[in-house]
Chain A
Amino acid sequence: MIKVENLTKKYAGFTAIKDLNFEVEKGEIVGFLGPNGAGKSTTMRILTGFMPATSGRATIAGFDIFDQSLEARKRLGYLPESTPLYHDMRVNEYLRYRASLKGVESRKLKERVGDVIELCSLREKERALISTLSKGQKQRVGLADALVHDPDLLILDEPTIGLDPNQIRSVRELIKNLANKRTVLISTHILPEVELMCSRVVVIHKGQIRASDTAENLLKNHRAVGSLRIDAKNTGEDAREALGRIPGVKDVTEEKDGEYSIFNMRTDANADPSDDVMRLAMERQWGVRELMRRRTTLEDVFVDLTHSDS
């Protein structure tokens, strides 16, 4: 559905994205991850035909986004990052306008607008002025706009930013429901969201792709650092150094919680020194309250892939 080849965008003085290559198949929900300024929005803006690339090419449903821009744009629904809307229009009026602009036939206009109003739970607000809506409601209007011409491809730039947890949940459910017959490219930096929604993740950093896989495989294959935590009392002065000497432990930090000390250890990839830690604690007769090995999360993978020096 989307095919991106050697896409590069240079602004005066810096390169926003560099030689990007990826594909999104029909029916996939792809999460586009990356820290702020990684080039997510730039990529999306190029794909939607809002701005041209410096070099490289991209196609949507087989249509070149630059040479056959109108055809490509007819097939996609786009929700920009800041959800721009005409604040002086009413919800149903705005959606009718947008539907007509995107080529929905007049006789189907009412039905389509009614459908997306229902889908995005805007029935109660359909006659409200957009300027009077809350942030979450505006977000849903933006989403309804992206959907109103029943596009094959949805490109959503941070659709859940600025929403409260309930709203995030309802938007997430909505996107999951849409996914059955559509392709979705969604950018976000809320990681649990990606694990819940996306069939695949593309991680981008400094304008380049760092990883592209399912969330599961990323976790499995990523040689991320693990972490171990021990929470104990009567640990003595040199406990931190002793823990640091255990093979597989990269570094140790210490915090105090009353008479207890909490040591957080970062460990080498695929190493599990918890036995050695426990042995040390028993030898020295620490009063252990807790020993915990934390599993690698998508967040660890993300941080590791997009850490600025990596």
Chain B
Amino acid sequence: MKTFLTLLGREVKSYFYSPIAYVVMFFFLIATGFNFYTGVSFLNQGPTEVTVVEAAFNTVLFWFPFLLLFPLITMRTYSDEFRMGTFETMTTAPVSDWQVVLSKFFGALIFYLILWLPSFSYFMAFQMITGKEAAMAAGAYWGSYLMLTLIGMFYIAIGCLTSSLTTEQINAAVMCFVAIFIAFVAGLLGFIMNITEPFFRDLISYFSAVEHMGDFSRGIIDSRPIIWYLSMTVLLLVINFQIFQYRKWKS
């Protein structure tokens, strides 16, 4: 456990050593702030059933920077170690391969969650200024941030996996973005192709990030998406572990 925490500490800190982290944080703050502002402006146009929290997490302006975030967070995780050769010093220290894989994953996840911290202040500011509730119930906050974490875990696992495939960060970033984009768009197929067949609609909604986020940000917490994201994350980490071992064998 101590070894894992040492590895994890290094992973989290390494984000703050590099300027990329600050650039990502800066632009992510601007993007989410702008998204929040336009969401509130939209609600100002007239009476609506949508709450501020819902509006904040269900717009194009939310999803676009959101999808771009993951390649930037995860591209360095493995590829940099391969390129610098530190992969060798790391794996010849008495650490197990699972400890490495999990520390990379949780390191990225922690950084991702740190990025979301400032967003709490948007809702608090809204409530303080307007004196109105930003959500119908506390469940909407729980649901929104739970779904952010779950989708984050899934996409970070994709990013770690793609980073473990290459020695070039930029390749990792491109592969990660394409994979996440496909996973995301697959959930919109019902909408894009106007599918009316109930079976396919249900099937697609099972892995549609947009629908999950819509439900959870209204406070409707369903166990099926939770199981979907957790099992996908575990599956990807297992594949990630296999690739990591394969790279050791082949090197």
The answer to whether A and B belong to the same complex is yes
**Which of A's residues lie within 8 Å of B, judged by CB?**
45, 48-52, 70-71, 73-74, 76, 78, 80, 82, 84-89, 97-98, 100-103, 145
A70–B96 touching, CB < 8 Å: yes
Tally of A-B Cβ pairs under 8 angstroms: 66
**Which of B's residues lie within 8 Å of A, judged by CB?**
2-3, 6-7, 9-10, 14, 17-18, 84-89, 91-96, 248-249, 251
Q: Per a CB cutoff under 8 Å, which of B9, B85, B93, B94 touches A84?
A: B85
For A84, the closest partner residue in chain B by CB is B85
B14–A86 touching, CB < 8 Å: yes
Q: Per a CB cutoff under 8 Å, which of A45, A52, A70, A86 touches B94?
A: A70
**Can you list the 10 inter-chain pairs with the closest CB atoms, starting with the nearest?**
A84-B85, A88-B17, A73-B94, A48-B92, A84-B86, A100-B6, A74-B94, A80-B88, A70-B94, A101-B93
List A contacts of B14 (CB < 8 A). 86, 88
Given A85-B86, A88-B14, 12 other A-B residues pairs in contact with their CB atoms under 8 A: A50-B91, A50-B92, A80-B89, A86-B14, A88-B18, A97-B9, A98-B89, A100-B2, A101-B3, A101-B7, A103-B94, A145-B89
B251–A50 touching, CB < 8 Å: yes
Q: Tell me the complex Cα distance, A74–B92, Å.
A: 9
Q: Known A100-B2, A100-B6; judge A50-B94 contact (CB<8 A).
A: no
A102–B94 touching, CB < 8 Å: yes
For B6, the closest partner residue in chain A by CB is A100
B3–A84 touching, CB < 8 Å: no
Q: Known A88-B14, A101-B7; judge A50-B93 contact (CB<8 A).
A: no
List B contacts of A78 (CB < 8 A). 89, 92
List A contacts of B93 (CB < 8 A). 73, 98, 101-102
B85–A82 touching, CB < 8 Å: yes
Q: Tell me the complex Cα distance, A73–B18, Å.
A: 30
Q: Tell me the complex Cα distance, A86–B87, Å.
A: 10
Residue with the greatest number of chain A CB neighbours at <10 A, chosen from B86, B88, B92, B248: B92
Q: Tell me the complex Cα distance, A92–B7, Å.
A: 16
List B contacts of A76 (CB < 8 A). 92
List A contacts of B88 (CB < 8 A). 45, 50, 80, 84
Q: Tell me the complex Cα distance, A70–B87, Å.
A: 16
For A155, the closest partner residue in chain B by CB is B92
List A contacts of B86 (CB < 8 A). 84-86
Q: Nearest-CB distance from B4 to chain A (Å)? A: 10
26 contacts between A and B (CB under 8 A): A45-B88, A50-B88, A50-B91, A50-B92, A50-B248, A52-B248, A70-B94, A71-B94, A73-B92, A73-B94, A74-B94, A78-B89, A84-B89, A86-B14, A86-B86, A87-B84, A88-B18, A89-B17, A97-B9, A98-B89, A101-B3, A101-B93, A101-B94, A102-B93, A102-B94, A103-B2
List A contacts of B18 (CB < 8 A). 88
List A contacts of B10 (CB < 8 A). 86, 97
Q: Nearest-CB distance from A84 to chain B (Å)? A: 3
Q: Tell me the complex Cα distance, A182–B170, Å.
A: 43
B6–A97 touching, CB < 8 Å: yes
Q: Tell me the complex Cα distance, A81–B85, Å.
A: 10
Q: Known A51-B248, A51-B249, A74-B94; judge A80-B85 contact (CB<8 A).
A: yes
List A contacts of B94 (CB < 8 A). 70-71, 73-74, 101-103
Residue with the greatest number of chain B CB neighbours at <10 A, chosen from A82, A84, A88: A84
For A74, the closest partner residue in chain B by CB is B94
List B contacts of A71 (CB < 8 A). 94
A51–B2 touching, CB < 8 Å: no
Q: Nearest-CB distance from A306 to chain B (Å)? A: 25
For A73, the closest partner residue in chain B by CB is B94
Q: Nearest-CB distance from B120 to chain A (Å)? A: 30
Q: Nearest-CB distance from A76 to chain B (Å)? A: 8
List B contacts of A102 (CB < 8 A). 93-94
Q: Tell me the complex Cα distance, A277–B91, Å.
A: 60
A52–B17 touching, CB < 8 Å: no
List B contacts of A49 (CB < 8 A). 91-92
